[in-house]
């Protein structure tokens, strides 16, 4: 039996802050005891981690990543190996990535493909959601089987006609099915049919620069799709989780639905909290680095997102990590913004940026852990194995130095991408040590993990419904 003790830190969970030592046995949290008490002092261990003056927090749970995603004729540049290593560097110990059903193929085939990409390559534990691109009778039946084997959430797209797009009828059918089998529908809520008209008109006017990506993908068309998804879910009697919410008007739709008592949830991402259309408008095609969908919004939207995170109208911050290199990938859209592969890198930056939000006074410390660890774990059926520090939980633990200063840069990050969306940004706080099921993955700022340590983690159904 291997034993580790983390001594002297401030243990922060979604519900508590206590000065406690943490005992880890065989990869799980065995006990907590107030630091300095005889109970804690009596623990012996093979490994002692000194966390004096530091926070001891649950490993981050990032429920929205796209390693190796095929998109726009290319592939997201992080593999499961490089992407999960970078996640660990940033204090994230679980990802839930999106397996993709190709049109005309089965869910099973898509899921098997994603298992093959991930297995033996991950530094941290991982699960899968399933992107449903082709709802038919067969797909609906397969959804039941996937729920039983731990793939309990399904993403549908109201955007990207001809690629991932589902029409309202397909969405309604999938929602009806999820109401029966306990699955959670995750919605990309943008009116893609209308957006494609605006794209065509913009290009015809010669508006080819990356900033037009933000102009055609209008906040109103995010709000409209969010509203429509909410009503379809209501008709189906199904819960709904709206991914990558960026528009103030969309948050208002979620808030209204929640005030009506619906099981409707929203996720936002650091890029919408910290970046804006100012970045998309950077000259010399630099704006391409910030092209993602939903798009970055004018700065004024950020206050509504922070408010939503405080009032629980938004429950989760994930990254939507979907990196494409500037050279050779983002450049595919020179002269036509609609050909820029959509997505931003960020799996390594989320815990730090949200800690900066604590420093800046947007959220409190426990809320930081709630939106980044505990609620994502509950929402997607991983709790209390993941997302907290409590006896019986997996020993996925981060020792975090809340006073260290760092500057985010592509020169020092570990993601396999040639730029950082946060280049030059100073943040207070830094990951020191990361344990995944008790094994040191990062040890005092050194990578000590290995590809293949991370295992597939099946999930139960949503644990967050009222
Ligand atoms: O731009 C983005 N978000 N790319 C990843 C795919 C998606 O829609 O989440
Ligand atoms: Zn999406
Ligand atoms: Zn409310
Ligand atoms: Zn995504």
Q: Is the shortest distance between the CB of 342 and ligand 1 below 6 Å?
A: yes
What ipTM was predicted for this assembly? Answer: 0.93
Distance 255 CA to ligand 3 centre (A): 5
Tokens of 3: 């034993």
Q: What is the pLDDT of residues 60-87, one digit of tens each?
A: 999 999 999 999 899 999 999 999 999 9
Q: How many domains does the chain have?
A: 1
What pLDDT, on a 0 to 100 scale, did the predictor assign at position 455?
Answer: 98
Q: Is 294 in the pocket of ligand 1 (CB under 6 A)?
A: no
Question: Helix or strand or coil: residue 214?
Answer: helix
**Left if phi > 0, otherwise alpha if psi is -120 to 50, otherwise beta: which for 230?**
alpha
**Is residue 389 domain-resident?**
no
Q: Is the CB of 192 under 6 A from ligand 1?
A: no
- Protein residue with its CA nearest to atom 2 in ligand 1: 343
In this prediction, residue 52 has a pLDDT band, given cuts at 50, 70 and 90, of very high
Angle of CA points 186, 414, 241, to nearest 5°: 10
Give the closest residue (by CA) to ligand 1 atom 7: 293
**Residue 126: closest CA among 419, 456, 466:** 456
**Model pLDDT, residue 222:** 99
Average pLDDT over residues 397-401: 99
Q: Which atom of ligand 1 is nearest to the CA of 243?
A: 9
Q: Which helix (H) or strand (E) holds 230?
A: helix 219-236
CATH number of the structural domain spanning residue 135: 3.20.20.140
- What distance lies between CA 403 and its chain's CA centroid? 25
pLDDT of residue 232: 98
pLDDT tens for residues 105-158? 999 999 999 999 999 999 999 999 999 999 999 999 999 999 999 999 999 999
In angstroms, what is the span from residue 7 Cα to ligand 4's centroid? 38
Pocket test for ligand 1, best of 67, 343, 346, 417 (most atoms within 8 A of CB): 343
Q: Is residue 402 part of a domain?
A: no
> Ligand 1 pocket: which of 158, 242, 270, 292 to mutate (most atoms <8 Å of CB)?
292
Q: What rounded mean pLDDT belongs to the chain?
A: 98
In a domain, 340, yes or no: yes
Report pTM. 0.98
| Beta pairing class for 439-443 and 446-447 | antiparallel
Could you tell me if residue 398 is inside a domain? no
**Tens digits of residue pLDDT in 209-253:** 999 999 999 999 999 999 999 999 999 999 999 999 999 999 999
Give the rounded percent of residues in the chain with a pLDDT score beyond 70: 100
Task: Show the domain range for 302.
Answer: 59-379
Question: Predicted confidence band at 335 (pLDDT cuts at 50, 70, 90)?
Answer: very high
Cβ of residue 343 lying under 6 Å from some atom of ligand 1: yes
**Residue 37, C-beta contacts closer than 8 angstroms, at least 6 positions apart:** none
E strand residue ranges, 13-139:
17-25, 28-34, 47-50, 55-58, 60-65, 70-71, 74-75, 92-100, 125-131
- Is position 173 within any domain? yes
Does 417 fall in a domain? no
Q: Mean pLDDT across the stretch 304-331?
A: 98
Task: Tell me if 53 is assigned to some domain.
Answer: no
Quick check: CB of 346 below 6 Å from ligand 1? no
**Do residues 380 and 267 make contact, with C-beta atoms less than 8 angstroms apart?**
no
* pLDDT of 1 above 90: no
- Taking the centre of ligand 1 as the mean of its atom positions, its distance from the CA of residue 257, in whole angstroms, is 24
Tell me, yes or no, whether 146 lies in a domain.
yes
């Amino acid at each position: 039996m291997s034993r580790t003790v983390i001594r002297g830190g401030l243990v922060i969970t979604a519900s508590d802050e206590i000065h406690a030592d943490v005992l880890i046995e065989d990869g799980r949290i065995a006990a907590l005891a107030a630091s300095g008490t005889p109970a804690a002092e009596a623990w012996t261990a093979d490994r002692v981690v000194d966390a004096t003056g530091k926070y001891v927090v649950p490993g981050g749970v990032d429920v929205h990543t796209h390693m190796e995603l095929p998109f726009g004729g290319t592939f997201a540049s992080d593999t499961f190996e490089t992407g999960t290593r970078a996640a660990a560097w940033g204090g994230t110990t679980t990802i839930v990535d999106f397996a993709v059903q190709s049109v005309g193929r089965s869910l099973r085939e898509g899921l098997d493909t994603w298992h093959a990409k991930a297995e033996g390559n991950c530094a941290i534990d991982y699960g899968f959601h399933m992107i449903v691109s082709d709802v038919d009778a067969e797909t609906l039946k397969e959804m039941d089987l996937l729920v039983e084997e731990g793939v309990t959430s399904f993403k549908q797209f109201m955007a990207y006609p001809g690629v991932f797009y589902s029409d309202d009828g397909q969405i309604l059918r999938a929602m009806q099915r999820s109401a029966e089998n306990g699955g959670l529908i995750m919605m990309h809520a943008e009116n893609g049919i209308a957006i494609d008209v605006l794209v065509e008109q913009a290009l015809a006017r010669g508006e080819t620069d990356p900033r037009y990506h933000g102009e055609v993908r209008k906040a109103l068309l995010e709000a409209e799709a969010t509203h429509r998804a909410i009503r379809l879910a209501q008709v189906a009697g199904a819960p709904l989780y709206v991914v990558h919410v960026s528009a103030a008007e969309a948050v208002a739709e979620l808030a209204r639905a929640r005030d009506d008592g619906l099981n409707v949830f929203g996720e936002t991402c650091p890029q919408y909290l910290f970046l804006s259309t100012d970045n998309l408008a950077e000259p010399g095609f630099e704006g391409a680095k910030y092209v993602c969908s939903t798009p970055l919004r004018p700065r004024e939207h950020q206050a509504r997102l922070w408010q939503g995170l405080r009032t629980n109208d938004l429950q989760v911050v994930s990254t939507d990590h979907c990196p494409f290199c500037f050279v050779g990938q983002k450049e595919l859209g020179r002269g036509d913004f609609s050909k820029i592969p959509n997505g931003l890198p960020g799996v390594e930056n989320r815990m730090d940026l949200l800690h900066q939000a604590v420093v800046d006074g947007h959220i409190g410390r426990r809320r930081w852990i709630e939106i980044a660890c505990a609620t994502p774990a509950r929402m997607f059926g991983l709790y209390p194995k993941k997302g907290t520090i409590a006896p019986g939980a997996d020993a996925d633990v981060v020792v975090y130095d809340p006073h260290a200063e760092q500057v985010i840069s592509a020169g020092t990050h570990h993601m396999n991408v040639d730029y950082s969306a946060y280049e030059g940004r100073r943040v207070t706080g830094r990951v020191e040590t990361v344990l995944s099921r008790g094994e040191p993955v990062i040890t005092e700022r050194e990578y000590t993990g290995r590809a293949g340590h991370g295992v597939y983690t099946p999930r139960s159904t949503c644990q967050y419904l009222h």
